[in-house]
Amino acid sequence: MKLRTIGALMRKEVLQVFRDPPTLVQVLAIPLIQLVVLANAATFDTGATRLLVRDDDRTPASAAMVAELVGSGEFTVVGTAVAPAHIEAVLRRREAAAVLQIPAGFAAAVARGEPTAVQLQINAEEGAVAGLIQQAALAIVERQAGAPSTLEVRQQGWFNPTRRYKDWMVPGILVSLTTIIGLLLTAQSITREKELGTLEQLNVTPVTKGEFITAKLLPFWGIAMGIFTVGLIVSKVVFAIPTVGAVPIVFLAAMVYLSVALGIGLWISTVTQTQQQAMFVAFFVLLIFLLMSGLFTPLEAMPDWAQAVAHANPVMHFVGLMRAVLVRGAGLAEVGPTIVGLGIAGAAVLGLAVMQTRKTLE
């Protein structure tokens, strides 16, 4: 590996990025805009739920429960229901998001200390919202009824019980954006040279495969680290995310993690022929990585095989590490094995990219 050759290749790479306006926008502006927009949009705060009430009990106890629901600020009563058909129609028209039915004899049963049932029907088209409504109503109803209700309790570990969503989501979004940009840039970089024909010329030079991949990795690695750093500062300054643990651990992990993400991008670029093919493969990989990262859907809800796949997902490990260190204050002793694991994965995928590099035409 000649440092001079690598230096020349890297200088060329950096010049190309900074002279191509679309790439420059892709690198500098888009990630930060997305971070700000997505961090504000990715919240599970649903506001006050529109509630339709059917009170067949008509006692002070049932009225007090409804009052408690409204008083919590989580619900507004939009009407009182009559017939079951009417209830369904109201839900369908989305005039209400949930219907609370209190049966006759509710107050009497509560007074006797007997089990009783209140029914809460929720429009579950949007699962996350339904879950929140359910949890909010459950707490209040249980408190009022003073007895176990028929509302089924299901623990869903993926939303923040303290409702500080941004603490939880912003690090995840930052990881997603850095991964997307880094992986797309590297996936395009070699195929672009194949399309330009410059790779054909470059292949008739003494440049080795290792020098070539090293010089392709380092500039984009630097760019991705830059994006990550600026994003972390924005997260702290604008969104006031907690930094309970040591920030240097997060940077160390980011440096190792990005070698995996960019290595995958480079590997895609070595096995595809055009930028379009590379983009398709990169998007496929990104979608699986991001959707199976535990960022948007709980890992615990996945079937066993999917959880096994998710554990091979570097994004999942890095998102988990970021949250553990920043929110919970995990130390190097706890996350060290994850960093070592990412390092092994990075070495493997970069080795694969070097092996797949061809000095001949396919």
User: Does position 164 bind another protein by CB under 8 A?
Assistant: no
Contacts of 194 (CB under 8 A, 6+ apart): 273, 274
CB of 209 to another protein, least distance (A): 11
Number of Cβ within a 10 Å radius of residue 179: 28
Judging by DSSP bridges, how do beta strands 49-55 and 98-102 pair with one another? parallel
CB of 218 to another protein, least distance (A): 16
User: Does position 273 bind another protein by CB under 8 A?
Assistant: no
**Which CB sits closer to another protein, 333 or 361?**
361
d(CA 321, CA 291): 17
* Residue of 200, 242, 306, 344 interacting with another protein (CB under 8 A): 200
- Residues 344, 312 contacting (CB under 8 angstroms): no
**Which CB sits closer to another protein, 5 or 135?**
5
User: Does position 202 bind another protein by CB under 8 A?
Assistant: yes
**Which CB sits closer to another protein, 139 or 196?**
196
The interface region with another protein, picked from 161-169, 180-188, 200-208, 309-317 by CB under 8 A, is 200-208
By rule CB under 8 A, what string of x and - marks binding of each residue 6-25 to another protein?
A: -xxx-xx--xx--xx-----
Nearest C-alpha neighbor of 10 from the set 207, 218, 166: 218
The amino acid sitting at 231 is: G
- What token pair was written down for 185? 């840039």
**Which CB sits closer to another protein, 196 or 340?**
196
User: Does position 90 bind another protein by CB under 8 A?
Assistant: no
Contacts of 176 (CB under 8 A, 6+ apart): 290, 293, 295, 315
Report 179-198 residues binding another protein (CB under 8 A). Answer: 196-198
**Which CB sits closer to another protein, 11 or 164?**
11
Count of residues of this chain found to bind another protein when the rule CB under 8 A is applied? 26
CB of 166 to another protein, least distance (A): 39
**Which CB sits closer to another protein, 23 or 160?**
23
Report 205-234 residues binding another protein (CB under 8 A). Answer: 205-207
- Residues 253, 321 contacting (CB under 8 angstroms): yes
**Which CB sits closer to another protein, 66 or 199?**
199
Give kind and range of the element (H or E) at residue 72. none
- Residues 43, 245 contacting (CB under 8 angstroms): no
- What token pair was written down for 171? 């690090």
- Residues 51, 97 contacting (CB under 8 angstroms): yes
Nearest C-alpha neighbor of 61 from the set 97, 109, 114: 109
Q: Which residues contribute to the site for another protein (CB under 8 A)?
A: 2, 4-5, 7-9, 11-12, 15-16, 19-20, 196-198, 200-207, 359-361
